[in-house]
Amino acid sequence: MAVYTEVTEAALRGFLADYELGELVALRGIAEGVENSNFALQTTGGSYILTLYEKRVDPAELPWFLGLMRHLAAQGLSCPLPVAGRDGVALRQLAGRPAAICTFLPGNWPRRVRPEHCAPLGAALATLHSAGEGFRAERPNGLGPRSWTPLLERCRDGGDAVQPGLIAELDGHLSGILADWPVGLPRGHIHADLFPDNVFFLEDARGSPRVSGLIDFYFACTDTLAYDLAICLNAWCFEQDFSFNVTKARAMIGAYQALRPLSEAEIEALPVLCRGAALRFLLTRLFDWTNTPPGAMVTRKDPLEYLKRLRFHAGAKDASAYGL
Amino acid sequence: MAVYTEVTEAALRGFLADYELGELVALRGIAEGVENSNFALQTTGGSYILTLYEKRVDPAELPWFLGLMRHLAAQGLSCPLPVAGRDGVALRQLAGRPAAICTFLPGNWPRRVRPEHCAPLGAALATLHSAGEGFRAERPNGLGPRSWTPLLERCRDGGDAVQPGLIAELDGHLSGILADWPVGLPRGHIHADLFPDNVFFLEDARGSPRVSGLIDFYFACTDTLAYDLAICLNAWCFEQDFSFNVTKARAMIGAYQALRPLSEAEIEALPVLCRGAALRFLLTRLFDWTNTPPGAMVTRKDPLEYLKRLRFHAGAKDASAYGL
């Protein structure tokens, strides 16, 4: 469910009056997305996405996200472009929330990831990393390695109820990851949440999927570029039974490297970056799992899916595990 | 959450190949609706709604629903019109489910019902009742009075955990409603679920809301016409604190009667029809509430909201309680 805040027609009409988008034709809540309320908005001017930012997003950070999206779009990346009102301002207020209208992107996110998706995804990620250069403002990664110890602390009491021995296992993983965490790798602006539901594809004339857009930049931050690749390896290359598909990984990394070759140090760090990425999603899911009241109307994601991924990465001798 | 079944691009592309709708532009899951999976579908041919029918809908009944929608649309009612494939067939299969594409309706459902919505709603309901004449096939109301006794039985064990004494109070209401239930009132095809999220509005040139479309006919059936009005009185005329807004009721019933005057018998039956309608939604919500496993990813609706409505109707001396 991704509509937390409802918008009355009167409020919407007043809001739209500040734009040059024509008259309201239709508004439909969108099922995808978990952090914000998203609506498909049709006006006589075209199709747009209306986003109301909910409380997990810090309003003070919204100008950075919207600025990054504007920068990336100006570099030719297909991502939502914030639409400014008549006064030139894109970040506004609606129904008591910060709100913005962005352009609508064509395409469809892959419900089942096939190997053919992974090369275009890798290329899109490298393009994103290059396009981000020149956007000066930085945003620290609030869910980076420094956050993992306190996050695990907050799961300590409830964690073993999810699986006996879980916390002890995570303690071991965490101390190993922090000890091995690489320093000095190339940095830049990363998406940090480039899961399949944030990547739209359309088929080209030959029937091959090509990326038509990247969305949901609200975890984007300034961090190690190869860590973004590690997140994608976690998000795109495991099968439903949690076996690792090295064909997908090789396609993704190969296409990434064709545009932005990885350094020796980045390649060497890939296993620990993957362990860290798996732990990051495991911990936020575990936190949500153990801190969601039983009656709450939210979809909790199973944290243990990431324990299986984490164990795979922990068993990786070196980057050859990823087809390199 | 209203996407239960996901559709791969390959399956979708194969499905669309059987239509004359052009190429896929975008697919987005829609947040609204609870019974089926709904997607906003954009093709080079236009905007549509793709519905995958989930297990609460009996596939054998789908031709009746789609036939009724086709009939109503042919009578000029603004409702989703099933789009036939190249072979003339509208009800097809996708992702292992019965599926259909319908036309996209403009408008926006009212997040907050204002008195100005209620007259157009009443008129739209009367129009629907007239437009349904001439559609010969009947569908019994599976959630009509005869279903309420067995439904209450299935809530008996868990009901008092929701509120102490609830089951005894419902036993009393149910026997009274069944004893007073009217027979011989005018019948026809009713929507039976015309809640605000199933009615789209757009403002006319003077800024007044007009109904732009009615959706979600999957509870439609052949039953007492005034019972449909009673459902709408429950769904549209209570405020958030469950006080009854007689201004809204008077506007709704007045506009309804301007197109289809109620008989003396229908007016007299209005309180018991309203009690029955409140009980019907109370019982299905209570059943879902007491039979949903704690971990299930569904939004349960509070059954007690309808107990408050039911008590209001039980206290109504006659139809004057509704502004008549």
Residues facing residue B217 across a β-bridge? none
Q: Where are the domains of chain A?
A: 9-103, 115-322
Domain A9-103 has CATH 3.30.450.20: no
CB proximity A209 to B under 8 Å: yes
CB proximity B297 to A under 8 Å: yes
A26, A108, A300 member nearest B106 (Cβ) = A26
B29, B105, B200 member nearest A32 (Cβ) = B29
CB proximity A161 to B under 8 Å: no
CB proximity B27 to A under 8 Å: yes
Gap between the Cα atoms of B147 and B29, Å rounded: 33
Please give the class, per CATH, of domain B115-322.
Answer: alpha beta
SS (H, E, C) A271-317: HHHHHHHHHHHHHHHHHHHHHCCCCCCCCCCCCHHHHHHHHHHHCCC
Quote the pLDDT of residue A274: 98
What is the token pair recorded at B38? 């709904």
Instruction: Please tell me the least confidently modeled range out of B36-50, B196-210, B294-308.
Output: B294-308
Q: Which of B43, B111, B206 to mutate to test the interface with A (most CBs of A within 10 A)?
A: B111
pLDDT (tens digit per residue) in B267-312: 999 999 999 999 999 999 999 888 876 555 456 788 999 999 999 9
Quote the pLDDT of residue B38: 92
Instruction: Check CB contact under 8 Å for A108 and B209.
Output: no
How far is A218 from chain B, CA to nearest CA, in Å? 19
- Residue A2 with chain B: CB contacts under 8 Å: 31
Instruction: Check CB contact under 8 Å for A9 and B294.
Output: no
Instruction: Check CB contact under 8 Å for B201 and A9.
Output: yes
B3, B104, B299 member nearest A297 (Cβ) = B299
Instruction: Check CB contact under 8 Å for A111 and B9.
Output: yes
Whether B1 has a pLDDT exceeding 70, the answer reads: no
- Residue A105 with chain B: CB contacts under 8 Å: 26
What is the token pair recorded at B154? 């299935």
- pLDDT tens, per residue, chain A with 324 residues: 467 788 888 889 899 999 999 999 999 988 876 678 999 999 999 999 999 998 888 999 999 999 999 999 999 999 999 999 999 999 999 999 999 999 999 999 998 999 999 999 999 999 999 999 999 999 999 999 999 999 999 999 999 999 999 999 999 999 999 999 999 999 999 999 999 999 999 988 788 999 999 999 999 999 999 999 999 999 999 999 999 999 999 999 999 999 999 999 999 999 999 999 999 999 999 998 888 765 554 567 889 999 999 999 999 999 999 999
